[in-house]
Structure 1
Amino acid sequence: MIDFRYHLVSIVAIFLALAVGIVMGTTLLQEPAIELAKRTSDELTNANNDLRSELDTLSGREAGNDTFIAAAQPDLVAGELTGQRVLLIETPGSSTTYREAVQQALSQAGAEFSGRVTFTEKLLDPKGTGVIDGLVNQLKPANMTFPATATAWDRAATLLAATYLTTDQAQAGTPNTTTAGVTTAFETGGLLSSEEEPDKRATLAVMIAPERPYEGENAETQAGALASLINGFDVAGKGTVLAGTVPTTAAPGDAIGVVRDDSDISKRVSTVDTIDMPMGRIATVYALREQLDGRAGQYGIGKGASATVPAMTSATPSPTTQSGS
């Protein structure tokens, strides 16, 4: 038989060997592990510093380009919209700052303003379509008809567009007598507000998109409602542009994205997604000029944009009567 003391000594020796192995292994591995972690940390820090430096350089270049373009803007847009009247449309969540910047560019292009209309959240609320339909049926001229598939927003767009826009240059600046009372009724219903004299019709319209995509369960419906409204406005005038900014992430509540994804609407309505930049304000002017020629395009740097700005030409749009876009 194996002596008990021998057995005990063997067990102790085994555990002692394990302990020594663990200590030696930890000691031997500790230094390489620390060195690897240090090298990795240094590499990440250097990469971060390089990226920060690159970002600072790009930001400086962008600021310089913006300053140059902003200074050249009056010359780049001068005379492009002479003789045209423009309606400005604000949407729930749109930026007043961006709207004012676009308005300045349009003024420098020679456009006159009929006024400004601001849509409310109530107009885009899917629960209020019955109220919208009731107003439209009450106020529409007898000869105004709608397709069987028209939504409440399609019908509202047709009525509002007839109130605020015309393709006839001779009628620009005059009210549509068949739609008298439309603005007052929609304001009383809390669906919109107006400033100046939008009833004295314009030939072109610019809608300022929400600064950020709509969120929530009705986001896609609200964005679709704006697409329907601007589409109707485009039909009634010489052209429309939906102007906004690029969302940080794709979202169903992005009105510009909805217009670009709809092949029928995007054939008529132009979009610009860079009005937070001088380039985008100039692109908005050029897009309106392009609309006067019966063409449309999607401009900017976001998804669905075909070019940063419309092609530049030396032609200046004529204030004479032209067909709608």
Structure 2
Amino acid sequence: MISYRHHVVSLVAVFLALAIGVALGGGPLSELGRDARATSATTRSEQQQTRRTVGFGEEFATAAAPTLYAGRLKDHPVSILTLPGADGGEVSALAAQVQQAGGTVTGTWKAQRSLVAAGEKSLVDTLGSQLMTQLDDGVVPADSSTYDRIGRLLGLSLAGTRVSADEVSSLRQSLSGADLVTAPESASRAPLVLVVLGRDGVDPAILSGLLTGLAATATGVVVAGDTASGASGDLHALRSEPVADKLTTVDGAESAVGQVTAVLALARSLKVQSGSFGASGSDGAVPLG
């Protein structure tokens, strides 16, 4: 039997698709087949309608969020990892939505530029090689690449699976001391990780390697980016990488609809660790599972 929550989620997807369709109709695509005078006469009206439609979708998503979540993140801690250039307002809004879903944000970790800068690869490789030798054999595979390795070590710091509390503490201190990440002063382990992409741009190979390692050590990883990132930026590139089958991607993080979608994806990642959602997501606007 299809649940009431399933119906509501479907409606959110419909409203999001409607908002996108109207936006395209009032934007560049509206120029096709029109002369300049007709376009000039209708542009303002279409823009106003677009704003009303998008606003309605935002209000609907915000109001429907508690019903959609149904407390599915209750008793599930979540770590947030931000990449360079992440918008602070988006991060705060996503954290608030996690709490609405019953989850707890254990801490927000900030990746520093040195973690993902191509010119700092030697530092990342050296530190990663040193840290893996401090762990039991096999915790980090010996043949891991530079960024896969550091991603696994970062994942162990966040999620803490397969390592002791002392080892987690040591990893956090080392990563922070090398200025690769800024870690919260005190954060419990969290098997779910929400990664918020920034606007600075990261080499696709570096981002893919980092997230491959992170996904190997966490129960579920959701990567959220803004609409532009999903259309032609970091998120778009990530979706064509093999790691996309091991995590969930969501675009539109600057909007209420995208934020709700990201948290629904987090809840879904407890059982399903893949998917592409949002305005340009190949699996639809909103995860229905």
The TM-score with structure 2 as length reference comes to: 0.80
**Matched residue of 1:308: which SS?**
coil
What corresponds to 2:103 in structure 1? 111
Shift of 1:73: 1.9
Distance 2:175 2:90 in 1: 25
What corresponds to 2:195 in structure 1? 207
Distance 2:66 2:125 in 1: 43
**Matched residue of 2:73: which SS?**
coil
What corresponds to 1:155 in structure 2? 149
Shift of 1:196: 4.2
> Does residue 47 in structure 1 map to residue 39 in structure 2?
yes
Q: Is the 1:117–1:194 Cα contact (8 Å) retained in structure 2?
A: yes
Shift of 1:155: 0.7
> Does residue 308 in structure 1 map to residue 285 in structure 2?
yes
What corresponds to 1:246 in structure 2? 227
Q: Is the 1:290–1:296 Cα contact (8 Å) retained in structure 2?
A: no
Q: Is the 1:213–1:247 Cα contact (8 Å) retained in structure 2?
A: no
TM superposition outliers: structure 1 runs of 4+ over 4 Å: 248-251
**Matched residue of 1:241: which SS?**
strand
What corresponds to 1:259 in structure 2? 238
Query: Which of 230, 244, 249 is residue 211 of structure 2 equivalent to?
Result: 230
**Counterpart code for 2:269:** Q
> Does residue 297 in structure 1 map to residue 275 in structure 2?
yes
Count of matched residue positions in the alignment of Structure 1 and Structure 2: 253
> Does residue 146 in structure 1 map to residue 141 in structure 2?
yes
Is the alpha carbon distance of 1:250 and 1:307 closer, same or farther for their aligned partners in structure 2, counting shifts above 3 Å? closer
The answer for unaligned runs of 5 or more in structure 1 is 1-41, 313-325
**Matched residue of 1:247: which SS?**
helix
Shift of 1:122: 0.9
**Matched residue of 2:110: which SS?**
strand
Is the alpha carbon distance of 1:139 and 1:246 closer, same or farther for their aligned partners in structure 2, counting shifts above 3 Å? same
**Matched residue of 2:239: which SS?**
helix
> Does residue 284 in structure 1 map to residue 262 in structure 2?
yes
Shift of 1:92: 0.2
> Does residue 65 in structure 1 map to residue 57 in structure 2?
yes
Distance 1:54 1:64 in 2: 15
Shift of 1:310: 0.3
> Does residue 193 in structure 1 map to residue 174 in structure 2?
no
Q: Percent identity?
A: 23
Shift of 1:147: 5.4
> Which of these two proteins has the greater Rg computed from alpha carbons?
1
Q: Is the 2:229–2:236 Cα contact (8 Å) retained in structure 1?
A: no
Shift of 1:89: 0.4
**Matched residue of 1:206: which SS?**
strand
- Point out the more displaced range, 52-61 or 95-104: 52-61
**Matched residue of 1:117: which SS?**
strand
